[in-house]
Amino acid sequence: MIGERIELTAENIYDLHYPTYCPRRLFYRFYGWEEGPSGPFEQLIFELAQRHEVCHLNSTGEYTDLSSGGLRERAAITIDLIEKGTPFIYQGVLSSTLIVEGRAVQAWGIPDLLVHKGPCWVIRDCKLTRKVSEEKHPEIKAQLQFYGFLFERSIREKPGKLEVFLGDGSMVDFPYDDGRSATESLKEIISTVTAKEAPYSPVNWSKCQGCGFHQLCWEEARARGDVSLLYGVDQNLALALRENGTSTVDQLLANWDESSLSKLSRPWGSSSRKVGKEASRILLQAKAMKDKRNIPLARVKLPESPNFVGFDLEGFPPYLNQIERVYLWGTKVYGENPSPYRPSLSPIEEDGDLKGWKKFLSICEEIFAKYGDIPFIHWAPYETSKIKLYRRRYGDPEGIAERVLGNLVDLLPLARRAIVLAEPSYSLKVVERVAGFKRSQDEYGGDWSMAKYFQAVETQDKSLRKEIFTQILRYNEEDLDATWAVFQWLRGQNEAHRGSKLGCSSSVPPA
């Protein structure tokens, strides 16, 4: 029996897949649940995507703009313009009424461009990303296939090609699949939005950052003690456990031991993988979470030195810039003979990236001259990878970068080996709170810093630019202070282990 008509759009595909797959987000947005405000980074991405689209649009020459007006009116005009062979149609509307899964559906799609090339029509979208695949940004291909499906149903003609204009200026095309993926997308969307309640979707620290429903989902997950809160339990493992009757931390501890959990398989890429040796660590994580108490594991080998360099970088991923770029190299010496904060902030100039790198090397050279081979403590592998990137990009004639690489000490794996946290993440922002560190700024974070730097680059107001740079530098210095606080905390954990049976044990669950 056909029920009330449902209106669906290509945006529903985006809601389902971006930034990560989450049917719960689709459900909430479809029914208009209140969403938290976008942060500065999300606003930046939107503005850059709009700029990228306009830049490409202007390069096409003359075009017909259908970006305003009601959907039905625009859909009728779009068909008329297509029949007339209009070369470029911007924000045309494609629509079709169909039956999917026994439901009447009114489907809408608004591709960026409809391009008339010879005897064929090309459907084109502009996207800021630099790579499109089934693993990375599957929503882009899914949306274009959806547009192709609506085009065929509206015009009774298949599109000649589906294209996406990427952030690096390249054009990627792929064939229309005759509506197969669009039909599957419609079935999944209908199944999700017609459910009686929001579908289950595991929470995850990295997955949920930046989502407007983050607070809502995490409060619910904490209230029920959801197993996906555990560090080390990925999305697929959370779903596999749920399929085996385990959805909470309490159930995990009650129903599984190390042997049984190690044998559980979950999807892994195109195949599957057993939990294996990770089982011991996950169960310890569950115990820590249940008892709301950190569990010490073992003493870890920390570098011994009278002084240490705190080291932290701020940079752009390649889809936000022409090249992957570090715009701030931060250093500060702690210990017996501390130094002031010494940043290298890339100047807003054509060769600013190179100048920032050279200044950083100069600062490091002075540090080595004064302190010798001093350890550079940092958090996670980002700093290591970026020094190697810049050494390849600009060279290292004096061997300073090579020397820094030889003195780097990543505290993240050491923290994982030292203690099981009653927390869902080992990000610096989480661990620093455990270590008792408090920041002075209410707004901070790598995404925040990127958005602020872009704001500084674009403003002509010199006083505002100076104010923004002051905020960015303060955030970076506090990252260094936090890293030092965590290092001292790890020292304290070692002292607590000294002489204990557990501290002397060589058997440590994998981090």
In three-state secondary structure terms, 509 is: coil
- Please name the residue ranges forming H helices in 194-304: 205-208, 214-224, 235-243, 249-255, 258-262, 278-291
Give tens-digit pLDDT for 225-245.
999 999 999 999 999 999 999
pLDDT confidence tier of residue 45, bands split at 50, 70 and 90: confident
How does pLDDT run across 391-405, given as a tens digit for each residue?
999 999 999 999 999
| Rounded average pLDDT over 482-488 | 98
Residue 349 reports pLDDT greater than 90: no
Cβ-contact 486, 300 below 8 angstroms? no
If asked whether residues 211 and 187 sit together in one domain, one would say no
Residue 392 falls in which region: left (phi positive, over 0), alpha (psi -120 to 50) or beta: alpha
pLDDT band at 451 (very low <50, low <70, confident <90, very high): confident
Q: pTM for the whole thing?
A: 0.87
Contact call for residues 507 and 453 (beta carbons, < 8 A): no
Residue 219 and residue 189 in one domain: no
Residue 388 has pLDDT above 60, yes or no: yes
The model's pLDDT over 134-153, given as tens digits with 9 standing for 90+, comes to 677 899 999 999 999 999 99
Note down the domain range covering 107.
Answer: 6-193
Question: Mean per-residue pLDDT for 386-415?
Answer: 97
- Residue 176 lies inside a defined structural domain of this protein: yes
In terms of Cβ atoms closer than 10 Å to its own Cβ (0-12, 13-18, 19+), residue 219 is exposed
How much of the chain exceeds pLDDT 70, in percent? 95
**Where residue 42 falls among pLDDT bands split at 50, 70, 90?**
confident
**Phi and psi of 157, rounded to 5°?**
-150, 135
Indicate if 138 and 183 belong to the same structural domain.
yes
Measured distance CA(504)–CA(437) in Å, rounded: 29
Q: What's the pLDDT at 2?
A: 55
| pLDDT over 80 (residue 354) | yes
Please give the average per-residue pLDDT across 325-341, as a whole number. Answer: 97
How buried is residue 250: exposed, middle or buried, by Cβ count under 10 Å (0-12/13-18/19+)? middle
Q: Report if residue 199 sits inside a domain.
A: no
pLDDT of 504 > 70? The answer is no
Neighbours of 36 (CB within 10 A): 12
Is 298 inside a domain boundary?
no
Q: Is the model more confident about 355 or about 497?
A: 355
* pLDDT-derived band at 1, boundaries 50, 70, 90: very low
Give domain status of residue 120, yes or no. yes
- Distances from the Cα of 478 to the Cαs of 314, 378, 384, in angstroms? 13, 13, 20
Question: 496 and 379, same structural domain?
Answer: yes
Angle at 74 between CA 68 and CA 76, to 5 degrees: 165
Which of 253, 271, 293 is the C-terminal boundary of a domain?
Answer: 293
Are 289 and 311 contained in the same domain?
A: no
Give the number of other Cβ atoms within 10 Å of residue 96's Cβ.
Answer: 16
Maximum separation of any 2 CA atoms in the chain, in Å = 85
14 and 148 belong to one structural domain: yes
Please give the pLDDT value at position 509. 47
Mean of the per-residue pLDDT values for the chain? 92
Residue ending a domain, choose from 293, 328, 349:
293
Please report whether residue 186 resides in a domain. yes
- Tell me the residue length of the chain: 511
Q: Does the residue 462 lie in any domain? A: yes
Tell me what the mean pLDDT of segment 183-191 comes to: 96
Look up the CATH number of the domain holding residue 24: 3.90.320
Q: Is the peptide bond before 175 cis (omega within 30 degrees of 0)?
A: no
**What gap in Å lies between CA 47 and CA 128, rounded to an integer?**
10
Residues 145, 173 within the same domain: yes
pLDDT category at 443 given cuts 50, 70, 90 is confident
Is pLDDT at 92 greater than 90 in this prediction? yes
Which residues, at least 6 apart from 427, have a Cβ–Cβ distance to it below 8 Å? 205
Task: Provide the number of structural domains found in the chain.
Answer: 3
**Beta-carbon contacts of residue 238 (< 8 Å; ≥ 6 apart):** 202, 226, 227, 228
**CATH number of the domain where residue 425 is located:** 3.30.420.10
Report pLDDT digits (tens) over 78-90: 999 999 999 999 9
Residues 376 and 480 in one domain: yes
Helix or strand or coil: residue 408? strand
Residue pLDDT, tens place only, 257-311: 999 999 999 999 889 999 999 999 999 999 999 999 999 999 999 999 999 999 9
298: amino acid identity, one letter: A
Q: Are residues 34 and 183 in the same domain?
A: yes
Higher pLDDT, 498 or 126: 126
Asked if residue 174 and residue 28 are part of one domain, the reply reads yes
In a domain, 424, yes or no: yes
Q: Is residue 267 part of a domain?
A: yes
Residues 153 and 242 in one domain: no
In a shared domain, residues 287 and 315? no
Which residues does 242 contact at the CB level (< 8 Å), separation at least 6?
Answer: 200, 227
Domain boundary pick from 265, 293, 321: 293
What is the SS3 assignment for 89?
Answer: strand
